[in-house]
Structure 1
Amino acid sequence: MRPRDHAGKPARLLPIGVIRSSIKKRSEAPKQASEGAPDAWLEVRPLVARALDGLKPGDEIIVVTWLHRARRDVLQVHPRSDPHRPLTGVFATRSPDRPNPLGLHRVTVREVAENRLRIGPIEAIDGTPVVDIKPVLCAIQRP
């Protein structure tokens, strides 16, 4: 059996939730979470709320977001918006502007409340769609 070629066919992502943050504008967001980003609430759609079972305060997770205010036509940027730095391909940067603007945010779960997680720090803007949540797994120790 040959695998089907899916190149060039549209992928479909459905948001599982949304970020509720005090950051309202892209210009207010720090470049990275470690640069003063606040905690925020991740509200999961009730239809998928049972998928939160097993998460608890103190857990580290990766939140995958769709950077809905990003420009998808940008292929090169000046890193950290510094015009003194040379133009660099977006795949070599953490720029939100890129062909498929997925954001990866490593955060700590602070609180679990029904279909909501208080997480942080996270630099996502209020209203940012969440497309997945994954646990951070510890490295396996070798003897």
Structure 2
Amino acid sequence: MDKELVIIGTIHSNIKDLTNAPKMETEPGAVRAKIVIDPAYAQGLDSMAPGAQLEIFTWFHKAERDVLMVHPRGKTERPKRGVFTTRSPFRPNPIGLHRVTLVAIEEPLTLVIEPLEAIDGTPVIDIKPVPKGS
């Protein structure tokens, strides 16, 4: 297979490091953020409108990739669990899934979204609409 993962945009957020990032977008500390889309993918934004519910897929580029067990929510008093039963960014393929609302579309090629827990500079690998009724 000769296909590779493509970065379509980048997160711009005031969350600057993993230690200050909430674990999920529904927790306190999730913020309004922006996704700047690479101009090569501009046509993919056709028909997007504020108010839409989106699922954003990110590449957790700062995550540790050799971790298979973690303390849930980073709380060391809790026993470790396998990463595939947690939302930890640490995992063999660190892909983030974030359900957000599209607040606005700014030029050039910028989506304003909320709430988001990803750190500044996180690569975006896909954007999908939330299915109706979800």
Report the TM range for the smaller structure's normalisation: over 0.9
Q: Percent identity?
A: 51
| 1:84 positional shift | 2.0
Cα separation, 1, equivalents of 2:70 and 2:4: 27
Q: Is 1:139 the counterpart of 2:126 in the alignment?
A: no
SS of the aligned residue for 1:33 comes to coil
The residue that corresponds to 2:53 in the other structure is 60
Which residue type is aligned with residue 24 of structure 2? Q
The residue that corresponds to 2:66 in the other structure is 73
Give the counterpart of 1:26 among 6, 18, 29. 18
- Structure 2 runs not aligned, ≥5 long: none
Answer with 1 or 2: which has the greater Rg. 1
Cα separation, 1, equivalents of 2:75 and 2:42: 41
Give the counterpart of 1:84 among 60, 63, 77. 77
The residue that corresponds to 1:121 in the other structure is 115
What TM-score does the superposition give when structure 1 sets the normalisation length?
0.88
Q: Is 1:93 the counterpart of 2:86 in the alignment?
A: yes
Cα separation, 2, equivalents of 1:129 and 1:105: 13
Output the aligned Cα RMSD. 1.5
1:87-136 C-alpha deviation (Å, 9 max, x unpaired): 11000000000000000000000001231100010001000000000000
1:1-37 C-alpha deviation (Å, 9 max, x unpaired): xxxxx7xxx8620100000001111111111111121
**Higher-strand-fraction structure:** 2
SS of the aligned residue for 1:69 comes to coil
Give the counterpart of 1:15 among 7, 12, 17. 7
Cα separation, 2, equivalents of 1:116 and 1:49: 10
Q: Is 1:130 the counterpart of 2:124 in the alignment?
A: yes
1:36-68 C-alpha deviation (Å, 9 max, x unpaired): 211100010001011011111100000000001
| 1:86 positional shift | 1.4
Q: Which runs of 4+ in 1 moved over 3 A?
A: none
Cα separation, 2, equivalents of 1:112 and 1:17: 14
Name the stretch that deviates more: 87-96 or 27-36.
27-36
